[in-house]
Amino acid sequence: MKLEIGNIIIKDVKFGIETKVDNQMLFINRDEIEALVLKDDRIKGVSIELARPGDSTRITPVKDVIEPRVKVSGNGAIFPGVISKVDTVGSGRTHVLKGAAIVTCGKIVGFQEGIIDMSGPGADYTPFSNLQNVCLVIEPIEGLKQYEYEHAARMAGLKVADYVGQVAKDLEPDEVEVFETKAIQEQVKAYPELPKVGYIYMLQTQGLLHDTYVYGVDAKQIIPTIMYPTEIMDGAIISGNCVSACDKNTTYHHQNNPIIKYLYARHGKDFNFTGVIITNENVYLADKERSSNMTAKLSEYFGFDGVIISQEGFGNPDTDLIMNCKKIEAANIKTVIVTDEYAGRDGLSQSLADADVKADAVVTGGNANEVIVLPPMAKIIGTDAYINKVAGGFDGSLRSDGSIEVEIQAITGSTNELGFNKLTTKSI
């Protein structure tokens, strides 16, 4: 499978009479987008607002972040199995509005969703402070059930991303990147002298509000399976996840998985990147055993010499992570795991809920419990009335002057376990 990603660089965003890109400026027609979102009769109102890097703006509570894209050629369309037909994606050409994002906000349940600060110290912790964000603050109709609300908000974000992405269809990209992974035998033959490397992609699937969808299927129900890396780059996986802002993978993270990106960067030089195994993180121990057995078996079956395993979330997924690591190491395959830590505010507590000596190569995205003070912002997109209910916030965290004292786990993407950021932790 060969995928061309054409990046159309976006450096600013503005409302305009037409949704279009002009000279790296993204114009958004507010009315059209509002009408699109309100087609869903579960949504009572939506307010569309823009947030640019450096603005004195706080976006909260953030549910998902999505990169606007369009399929130019090749099989399928954007978000297959969810808002378009369930076709296999990952080949042909896809155009990306690089530097722009759709951010959905809403109080789905009274806690959990995160904070994006566009400037100040908090901005350093979230990659989304660097993007031109089109924010949708979604208000549900009276009495809408949480799952319905989550679903409505999820769909609204994806539909708007698709809609905005359309404008890139006929544009000339500023840069084109090409990624290719061949069918397994061919791929192995391509670099017979290099070690074969795979990627074990763990997806949060605990249940309501903790779900991830693969081609529209709730990943809780899958048995681990193999995918071409380009399928993931092309929108096959989306987030339905509201939990722990710091280490959930938003749809943007899935679209731009950095582990896939850097595995490709050294593919053919240091190793032969031959495939991705996706797996889940369920609450049943039997599922954990089954899924980790499968990842180990598939890793062996595909002849991997080494794998990177990434986690999503914390707590019980630590058990999945360690099971995957142990079983794959037991098959004589070298592992590197990517996680984050909950070492307490003082940094002195046990960081993970599971551990094993076999996990001897760990990359960490930081201690999510570290406390930060976020200064007041001139503009709040969404509402900060729920700040002290956000995971990582605590009573009294919203101060009267509008500043917030929170653990960085309240910041969207701060301790991402795909290695999206530079944040990490050391023992001192």
Partner 1 sequence: MAYKVIHYINQFFANIGGEEMAHVTPEIREGAVGPGLGINKAFKGEAEIVCTVICGDSYFNENTEAATKEILELIKPYEADAFIAGPAFNAGRYGTACGTIAKAVQETMHIPAVTGMYIENPGVDMFKKELYIVETSNAAVGMRKALPKMSALTLKLMSNEADLDPTIDGYIPRGIRKNYFAELTGAERAVDMLVKKLNDESYTTEYPMPVFDRIEPGKAIKDLSKAKIALVTSGGIVPKDNPDRIESSSASKYGTYNIESVLNLTGDNYETAHGGYDPVYANDEPDRVVPLDVLRDLEKEGVIGSIHPYFYSTVGNGTAVKSSKEFSLEIAEKLRQDGVDAVILTST
Partner 2 sequence: MITVVSNNPLVKKHRSDIEYLNNKDYLDVLIRTRDLIHQNYHLVTHPLSSNFLADQTCYKTVVLKQESSFDLKSLEIIERAIIMVKNSLLTRDQRIFEEAILRDLQFVDYEIIKNTL
In the bound state with partner 2, the residue whose beta carbon lies nearer, of 319 and 425, is: 319
CA–CA distance, 255 with 89 (Å, rounded to integer):
12
CA–CA distance, 325 with 409 (Å, rounded to integer):
25
Q: Which of 105, 242, 246, 325 is catalytic?
A: 242
Q: Which of 192, 195, 184, 270 is CA-nearest to residue 229?
A: 184
The residue type of 335 is T
Asked if 110 interacts with partner 2 (CB under 8 A), we say yes
Q: Environment class of residue 361 by beta-carbon count within 10 Å: exposed (0-12), middle (13-18) or buried (19+)?
A: middle
Q: Environment class of residue 276 by beta-carbon count within 10 Å: exposed (0-12), middle (13-18) or buried (19+)?
A: buried
In the bound state with partner 2, the residue whose beta carbon lies nearer, of 10 and 203, is: 203
Asked if 303 interacts with partner 2 (CB under 8 A), we say no
Asked if 100 interacts with partner 2 (CB under 8 A), we say no
In the bound state with partner 1, the residue whose beta carbon lies nearer, of 17 and 285, is: 285
Distance of CA 5 to the CA centre of its chain: 18
Asked if 299 interacts with partner 2 (CB under 8 A), we say no
The residue type of 149 is Y
In the bound state with partner 1, the residue whose beta carbon lies nearer, of 218 and 305, is: 305
In the bound state with partner 1, the residue whose beta carbon lies nearer, of 287 and 305, is: 305
Q: Of these, 96, 152, 391, 423, which contacts partner 2 (CB under 8 A)?
A: 391
Q: Which of the residues 13 through 42 are near partner 2 (CB under 8 A)?
A: none
* Residue 242 known to be catalytic: yes
Asked if 319 interacts with partner 2 (CB under 8 A), we say yes
What is the length of the chain? 428
Prior bond of 192 cis (ω within 30°): no
Structure tokens at 157: 């974000």
Q: Of these, 170, 185, 286, 426, which contacts partner 2 (CB under 8 A)?
A: 286
Q: Which of 185, 187, 181, 191 is CA-nearest to residue 234?
A: 181
Question: CA angle at residue 200 from 215 to 125, to 5 degrees?
Answer: 85
Which chain residues interact with partner 1 by CB under 8 A? 124, 195, 197, 258-259, 261-263, 265-266, 270-271, 305-308, 310, 334, 336, 338-339, 341, 343, 346-348, 350-352, 355-357, 359-367, 370, 408, 416-428
CA–CA distance, 125 with 123 (Å, rounded to integer):
5
Task: Provide the minimum distance between the beta carbon of 111 and partner 2 in the complex, in angstroms, as a whole number.
Answer: 6
- Enumerate the active-site residues: 242
Site residues for partner 2 per CB under 8 A: 109-111, 146, 206-210, 243-244, 283-286, 288, 313-316, 318-319, 342, 344-346, 349-350, 353-355, 369, 389, 391, 394-396
